[in-house]
Amino acid sequence: GAVVSQHPSRVICKSGTSVKIECRSLDFQATTMFWYRQFPKKSLMLMATSNEGSKATYEQGVEKDKFLINHASLTLSTLTVTSAHPEDSSFYICSARTLWIEAFFGQGTRLTVV
Amino acid sequence: EDQVTQSPEALRLQEGESSSLNCSYTVSGLRGLFWYRQDPGKGPEFLFTLYSAGEEKEKERLKATLTKKESFLHITAPKPEDSATYLCAVQAPAAGGSYIPTFGRGTSLIVHP
């Protein structure tokens, strides 16, 4: 299957600082990338959908000014959590897809805000 | 509204005890049903894509089947290493011509040695 690399896998940051998470499709061009948040023992919660070269579409209830998404190329999308607070601590996962076929997931990023 | 329901929520099996996981869906214009495996603390790992009723796919001890209303993930003679959460997702046209996968809540499988 296709490979999606997500970095970092774990990050601890101080409250009020910003954190950037990268998602790269290594062996295919991803026209669409998805960002999810997952709470312990819960399913995936879609945060936003981004298409290369256009603004991300955020799901209802997701603050676009707090969770900045950039999809500047066909192989890279970034999620920046701005002014992070402890309630933003979570497991964040990206997935990448070409057209409407199956999406492949990154390894996930465990964010802890202290 | 598209819906995906997975059952059971949790399943405990003895090693070698075959069983099936269910994924029921209601969508208009299905453009793929996907099965993923997720281990704790990791991103989901792609297993199968099914596109049309009657389609079947196999990989080692896993076999996925699809009807017009549901999909089954059959696990034959499972081993402890098959323990994981199995996620089902369906993809259908959404507003604006996009395709966004809708995930079920998953089935947590534990296989005891």
Q: What is the pLDDT of residues A50-104, one digit of tens each?
A: 988 888 999 999 999 999 999 889 999 999 999 999 999 999 999 999 876 789 9
pLDDT at residue B2 is higher than 80: no
B72-84 burial string, b = 16+ CB within 10 Å, else e? Answer: bbebeebeeebbb
Nearest residue, CB atoms, B34 vs list A6, A42, A102: A102
Min CA distance, A10 vs chain B (Å)? Answer: 10
Nearest residue, CB atoms, A43 vs list B41, B45, B105: B105
- Comparing A68-82, B19-33, B95-109, the range with the smallest average pLDDT is B95-109
| Residues from chain B contacting residue A46 (CB–CB below 8 Å) | 100
Determine, for residues A107 and B43 on separate chains, whether the beta-carbon distance falls below 8 Å. Answer: yes
pLDDT at residue B84 is higher than 80: yes
Residue B46 — very low, low, confident or very high, per pLDDT cuts 50/70/90?
Answer: very high
The pLDDT value recorded for residue A1 is 65
pLDDT at residue B1 is higher than 70: no
Residue B56 CA, chain-centre distance (Å), reads 13
What are the pLDDT digits (tens) for B30-40?
889 999 999 99
Percentage of chain B modeled with pLDDT above 90: 82
Determine, for residues A102 and B32 on separate chains, whether the beta-carbon distance falls below 8 Å. Answer: yes
Tell me the CA distances in angstroms from A51 to A28, A36, A72, A75, B113, one per residue in order. Answer: 15, 15, 9, 11, 45
- Can you tell me the distance from the alpha carbon of A76 to that of B62, in angstroms, rounded to the nearest whole number? 32
Sign of CA dihedral A110, A111, B3, B5: positive
The pLDDT value recorded for residue B10 is 97
Determine, for residues B49 and A101 on separate chains, whether the beta-carbon distance falls below 8 Å. Answer: yes
pLDDT at residue B66 is higher than 90: yes
| Residues from chain A contacting residue B105 (CB–CB below 8 Å) | 42-43
| Residues from chain B contacting residue A42 (CB–CB below 8 Å) | 105
Residue B17 — very low, low, confident or very high, per pLDDT cuts 50/70/90?
Answer: very high
Longest dimension (CA), chain A: 39
What amino acid is encoded at B63 in this protein?
Answer: K
The pLDDT value recorded for residue A102 is 85
CB B64 within 8 A of CB B50: yes
